Amino acid sequence: MMHTRSGLLGLIIALAFVSIACSGGDGKEEESFPAVQTIRDGEILPVINNQFVVVGPNRLVFYVTAPDGSLIRDAKVTAAFYELSGTEAIKRFETEMTSTVPARDAGVEEQILHIHPDGLRHIHVNLPDDIGFFTANVSFD
């Protein structure tokens, strides 16, 4: 059980270093895992939005921010997952992430007028259609 937990810990730590490739790259894959990953100002930033990651099936949700702080949506994103064992990083798998833009995908307007039976009116505000995220169903052992 301890080995499984340490493997999961390595995968969770590796999530901080998830390899994200947006469309438009040169197509060459880098297989080495850097000892230190530095995200500099002016680069895209993947942000995992899960409160919990567990052994077994997980639905991971990522936001990806552009250098100007806006959210990137509708990009082709691949996430690579590594098991960290001491100083060694072993690539376990990679998966294509699915782009989701809830308001646009559901056809929901940003503001909706709600009228109650007694005539009271107020506005419901939904997420705008520039808010999007990426998801993937993965399983950790």
pLDDT, position 119? 94
- The rounded mean pLDDT for the chain is 75
For every residue of 32-92, DSSP letters joined together read ---SS----TTS-EEEE--S---SEEEEEEEEEE-TTSPBP-S---EEEEEEEETTEEEEE
Model-level pTM? 0.59
pLDDT number for residue 6: 43
Report how far residue 122's alpha carbon sits from residue 115's, in angstroms, rounded to the nearest whole number: 7
Instruction: Spell out the domain ranges in the chain.
Output: 2-102+130-140
Mean predicted confidence (pLDDT) in 66-94: 86
Could you give the CA distance from residue 133 to residue 100 in angstroms, rounded to a whole number?
5
117 pLDDT more than 90: yes
- Residue 37 token pair: 């990953």
